[in-house]
């Protein structure tokens, strides 16, 4: 039996740019850009590494046209050219150096490529704990709007 003063772990809580909500499969994003708070017309998809494991979460959230134009090309360039370029370099190193140094360099380059490809240029991210999802946003105003949009009904 719960005492009236005990905190309820399933309640959403707001703390500056962090929002904690109960675990769920879908969340609602306000239809404004989380970066500049302008009306959003496009969606941006990011891969966010799962803490403590190899899983990745894919999230799509709204962004305005200007932020999309500023972020998407650089993000694509970073992922394709640098991220996959490091994978190609790892394969070339492993094929050329067939010794311990080659194996070590291969794994270092593979890990570096993953870090480069998973770089998040937006400030929007989340992680999960046992009972909730903890979202981070670049502005407290957007965090508050997200919190309101995802209150239990």
Per-residue pLDDT of the chain (153 residues; tens, 9 = 90+): 334 444 444 445 556 788 988 887 788 999 999 999 999 999 988 766 665 555 557 778 999 999 999 888 877 787 788 888 889 999 999 888 888 888 899 999 988 887 777 677 788 888 777 788 888 999 999 999 999 999 864
| Tokens linked to 51 | 């803490």
| Tokens linked to 133 | 């999802």
Residue 3 domain flag: no
Domain that holds residue 86: 13-149
Residue 108 domain flag: yes
Residue 90 domain flag: yes
Residue 4 domain flag: no
Residue 7 domain flag: no
Cβ atoms of 139 and 153 closer than 8 Å: no
Q: Give the number of domains in the chain.
A: 1
The alpha-carbon radius of gyration of the chain (Å, integer) is 20
Residue 2 domain flag: no
3-state SS assignment for residue 144: helix
Three state DSSP letters for 56-76: EEEEEEEECHHHHHHHHHHHH
Q: How much is the pLDDT for 23?
A: 80
The Cα-based distances of 103 to 94, 106, 109, 111 in angstroms read 6, 5, 10, 12
Residue 75 domain flag: yes
The partner residues of 32 in beta bridges, in order of sequence, read 39
Residue 35 domain flag: yes
pTM greater than 0.75: no
Q: How much is the pLDDT for 30?
A: 94
How far is the C-alpha of 13 from the C-alpha of 50, rounded, in Å?
A: 21
């Amino acid at each position: 039996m719960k005492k009236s003063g005990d905190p309820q772990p399933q309640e959403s809580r707001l703390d500056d740019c962090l929002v904690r909500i109960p675990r769920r499969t879908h969340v609602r994003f306000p239809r404004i850009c989380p970066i500049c708070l302008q009306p959003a017309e496009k969606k941006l998809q990011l891969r966010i590494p799962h803490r403590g494991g190899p899983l990745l979460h894919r999230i799509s959230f709204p962004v305005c046209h200007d932020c999309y134009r500023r972020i998407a090309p650089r993000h694509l360039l970073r992922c394709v050219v640098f991220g996959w370029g490091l994978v190609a370099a790892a394969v070339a190193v492993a094929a050329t150096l067939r010794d311990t140094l080659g194996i070590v360099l291969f794994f270092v380059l593979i890990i570096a490529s993953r870090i480069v490809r998973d770089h998040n240029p937006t400030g929007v991210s989340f992680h999960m704990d046992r009972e909730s999802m903890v979202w981070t946003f670049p502005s407290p105003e957007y965090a508050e709007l997200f919190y309101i949009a995802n209150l239990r009904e």
